[in-house]
Amino acid sequence: MMSDNILEIRNLGVRFRTDTGITNALNDVNFDVPRGKVTAIVGESGSGKSVTANCIMRLLQPPGEIVTGSIQFNPSRTESFDVVAIGERDPRIYDLHGGLISMVFQEPMTALSPVYRVGNQVAEAILCHRDVSKDAAMVEAHDMLRRVGIPDIDTRIQMYPFEFSGGMRQRVVIAMALVCNPEVLICDEPTTALDVTIQAEILTLIKDLQEELSNSIIFITHDIGIVAQIADYVVVMYQGRVLEIGTVRQVLKDPLHPYTKGLLAAIPGNVPKNVRLSTIATAVGDADITTPFPLKEVGEGRLVSLP
């Protein structure tokens, strides 16, 4: 039977060895990514969100190295395997990058070439991974650009990325990420560089496409508002550790870990006017958030790192 989780991350440890010493970027990270749902990873800057995503994609670069753990990947199209255990030249790495998992980053231009027309770039993404004719790829590219809401496609498909607004570029990147119908889509702060109104459009787009295509999404952000709007499940990270896991309502409405409580208390919209915002430090107070207590299950799928 196929597992309900598309990804199962166990005891993942990552360290960076640099001139100034060793950084333990991830320590004993454990969480599942349920199939066909949106899982948000939330945490402050430096908490290890992007490093986790890079491990799943096997994109971690030296001086970073995975020192412990496993990432069990259960795609529906191929056999399950441990992403950490397979070798550099294992063909499954090619499958991984070749359409099983896609990634959308904060800055759309990192994924787009400035010198090729938008339509060709999307078609190229199809041709790279699938054995179809050039014409067929172009037709599909057209269709995908329509689905991500690019207006006036016949003209736009001939244009270069610099002729697009930031929001339009990010739509193109999402189109490229989706043409191979990935089983997992990882979005690492895909809207941070965008305006609120454009951000709202992109979030709606991702949510609508997810409902239509029912792929599994990992959504990385430090914005609790975005988490509330897009996620089904939430993983809270702090200093390379997972502190709390649950459904979006459980974590945001009934946080168990003092750090999560602090994170929520620091949002201006959650605090009456003229009341001082609590910083995480003040909200956490004397509570111990640095001792790495192992996650314990306090309900079905509800885990928290408390003594």
| Residue numbers at the binding site for Mg ion (CB under 5 A) | 50
Within 10 angstroms of residue 201's Cβ, the number of other Cβ atoms is 18
Residue 226 as a binder of other proteins (CB under 8 A): the answer is: yes
Closest to other proteins by CB, 113 or 282: 282
CA distance 21 to 215: 40
Nearer to ligand ATP, 39 or 121 (CB): 39
Q: Nearest-CB residue to Mg ion?
A: 50
Q: Round to whole Å and give the CA distance between 161 and 114.
A: 6
Among 21, 62, 196, 300, interactor with other proteins by CB under 8 A: 196
- Where along the sequence are the contacts to ligand ATP (CB under 6 A)? 16, 18, 23, 25, 43, 45-51, 63-64, 222
Site membership for other proteins, residue 170 (CB under 8 A): no
42 Cβ contact list (under 8 Å, min separation 6):
49, 220, 221, 222, 224, 227, 234, 235, 236, 237, 263
Q: Does the protein bind other proteins through residue 114 (CB under 8 A)?
A: no
Q: How far is the CB of 43 from ligand ATP (least distance, A)?
A: 6
Name the nearest CA neighbour of 191 among 149, 157, 219. Answer: 219
**Residue located via tokens 């020192």:** 67
Q: Which residue has the tokens 């003040």?
A: 282
- Answer yes or no whether residue 184 interacts with other proteins by CB under 8 A: no
Cβ distance to Mg ion smaller for residue 52 or 278: 52
Among 195, 211, 254, 288, binds other proteins (CB under 8 A): 195
| C-alpha atoms less than 13 angstroms from C-alpha of 154 in its C-beta half-sphere | 0
d(CA 160, CA 3): 42
Rounded to the nearest 10 degrees, how much is the dihedral formed by the CA atoms of 139, 142, 147, 149? -170
- Residue among 86, 159, 213, 228 that touches other proteins (CB under 8 A): 228
Q: Is 21 in the site for other proteins (CB under 8 A)?
A: no
> Closest CB to ligand ATP among 120 and 192?
192
Phi/psi class of residue 194: alpha, beta or left (left: φ > 0; alpha: ψ in -120 to 50)? beta
Q: How far is the CB of 223 from Mg ion (least distance, A)?
A: 13
Which residues 238-297 are close enough to bind other proteins by CB under 8 A?
248-249, 252-253, 262-264, 266-271, 273, 276-281
Task: Catalog residues that contact other proteins under the rule CB under 8 A.
Answer: 44-45, 195-201, 203-204, 222-231, 248-249, 252-253, 262-264, 266-271, 273, 276-281
